[in-house]
Amino acid sequence: MCSILGVLDLRPGADVQPLRPLALALSARQRHRGPDWSGVYAEPRCLLVHERLAIVDPAGGAQPLRSRDGRLALAVNGEIYNHRTLEQTLARPYDFQTGSDCEVINALYREQDTAGIARLNGIYAFVLWDAARGRFLVARDPLGVCPLYWGHDGDSRLWVASEMKALASRCDDVAVFPPGHVFDSEVGEPVSFYRRPWRDYEATRNVAVAPHDLRAAFERAVHRQLMTDVPYGVLLSGGLDSSLVAACAARFARRRIEDDDRGEAWWPRLHSFAIGLEGSPDLAAAEVAARALDTVHHPFTYRFEEGLDALPDVIRHIESYDVTTVRASTPMFLLARRIKAMGVKMVLSGEGSDEIFGGYLYFHKAPDARAFHDETVRKLDALHLFDCLRANKAMMAWGVEARVPFLDLEFLDLAMSMDARAKMAGPGRIEKAVLREAFAGALPDPILWRQKEQFSDGVGYGWIDGLKTHAASRVTDSMLAEAPARFPVNPPQTKEAYWYRELFEHEFPGDACARTVPGGKSIACSSPAAIAWDPAFAAAADPSGRAVAGVHRDPT
């Protein structure tokens, strides 16, 4: 994982090379993502700057990646998990210059043009420059795990960067680049390259997935994502999702299975990391899971005041004022710093499971399978603005890469192909039961059957309650009443939201920056559409999982 910055201008007589000092200065604003090395490619029509976090081929693999003939230059932020398989299926040999997994993008482009992008299984955002054709591509992975922004400066040059902070001062139209799309300069608009039949509920009706097939597919996903040449670990909150990731990773770390197609777990002893307030539900559950999995476990506590102090830095890094995202990013931001101090550069995390399997507590209120399925699709479409953004930016603030096996594209296709009737929760059936049943025996029952706790709740209920109390002391009733005039884009609805918006506006002024953050009411992380599932949702809307009355159980 790294950061990229590109300046592109195809107009006759254009020369972006004089912008090199400025591009370097702006790229430095996101160097926390890639502290290991900086690389530059410059020619009159294209300027690429890359800040590298070396995970695969740390001694080589410096970017931008060039083809031997000098025609292609590629700046990538990401990991391509199926690169070896793709390399083996090339119709003609490609002269690879490094051991980087990302260099296969150049090879695919040479052989299949933009069609090759759809074959990538990984997390990525890239700019590819073809000097011979005077053409460039900008692309982002289907779920938007890797962040990407773009905009134009006052001279109509296109700027692209991993984080908004590198562009906000230059581009009045800065915006989020859409996941699952490629912008081809010869086409002139983003084009989707990722469309799956399972998006339509009818394609999934009556489709069953056997528990052993679901389990095997997820184990393969975890194995693929253990591709690393540096020390790694797992985030272990003690919830179902992170514990399943840890269980699979621990199995491969012990066995060190070698498979040229899927990578190898290089480090035989698995380290796990957890964080929470003193006495938090997550810390207690994580200890149980870690003992059962025999990981080298590192639990960390933080005080409310430490989280409060970090909030301005957190919002600057995550580039969002969304309430749930800020709440959950803060402990993750603090944890990432401790992980980096221990010399670990990559961790596996459990994001994506709740969106695929309907794990949030409000899914208990889904009226039927179609509504349930449609909401999972909506949640997956928005992940790049919420959990993917949080996991990526909060961890990369300290140069730690977070990988998300539940969003592995092969696993996603299988898990989303099943009829949502098998996923539905309700009286007597816990959320994500189909996933729990598939992994029977892999975890202690108190972990395997632990109810969903959103990360911002699980670190300790005092965290969210304290934030609300602190916001109430900072934001007056009159300030909140005048919020629509001060913040016309997505005006905050609560004092806590107002406070975060103030901090965001300080770092990212202007309507364009504000529009990169989604708005709308939510109950326990629902999309706005799901508010209609229960009349009580509209009155009690709050992103905390505890807001779903009659479903959430207080473990204390």
Measured distance CA(32)–CA(400) in Å, rounded? 9
- Which residue type, as a one-letter code, is found at position 346? M
Measured distance CA(73)–CA(63) in Å, rounded? 9
- 241-293 pLDDT per residue, tens: 999 999 999 998 876 534 434 444 445 679 999 999 999 989 999 999 999 99
Structure tokens at 367: 């009226």
- Domain limit, last residue, from 174, 195, 216: 195
pLDDT, residue 552, reads 54
pLDDT, residue 522, reads 84
Q: 216 and 151, same structural domain? A: no
- 516-529 pLDDT per residue, tens: 999 888 887 888 88
pTM of the entire predicted model: 0.94
Q: 236 and 116, same structural domain? A: no
pLDDT band at 554 (very low <50, low <70, confident <90, very high): low
- Domain limit, last residue, from 158, 175, 195: 195
- Pair 454, 544: CB distance under 8 Å: yes
pLDDT band at 549 (very low <50, low <70, confident <90, very high): low
Q: 209 and 184, same structural domain? A: no
Q: 145 and 207, same structural domain? A: no
- Pair 509, 341: CB distance under 8 Å: no
Q: 267 and 164, same structural domain? A: no
In a domain, 130, yes or no: yes
Q: 204 and 162, same structural domain? A: no
Provide the residue range defining the domain that includes 221: 199-469+500-547
Average pLDDT over every residue of 37-54: 95
Average pLDDT over every residue of 32-44: 94
Q: To the nearest whole number, what is the mean pLDDT of the chain?
A: 92
Kindly state the percentage of the chain with pLDDT values over 70.
Answer: 93
Average pLDDT over every residue of 345-355: 96
pLDDT of 539 strictly over 80: no
In a domain, 554, yes or no: no
- Pair 385, 517: CB distance under 8 Å: yes
CATH number, domain with residue 162:
3.60.20.10
Q: Which of 153, 123, 149 is nearest to 138 (CA)?
A: 149
In a domain, 380, yes or no: yes
pLDDT, residue 260, reads 39
pLDDT band at 349 (very low <50, low <70, confident <90, very high): very high
Q: 342 and 420, same structural domain? A: yes
Q: 91 and 216, same structural domain? A: no
Average pLDDT over every residue of 488-497: 96
Structure tokens at 200: 């339509």
Lowest mean pLDDT among 71-85, 399-413, 435-449, 511-525: 511-525
Q: Which of 347, 341, 327 is nearest to 273 (CA)?
A: 347
Task: Give the chain's domain count.
Answer: 2
**Active-site residue list:** 2
Average pLDDT over every residue of 139-149: 98
pLDDT, residue 456, reads 53
Q: 182 and 216, same structural domain? A: no
Rg (alpha carbons) of the chain, rounded to whole number: 23
pLDDT, residue 551, reads 67
Q: 217 and 173, same structural domain? A: no
- Domain limit, last residue, from 153, 176, 195: 195
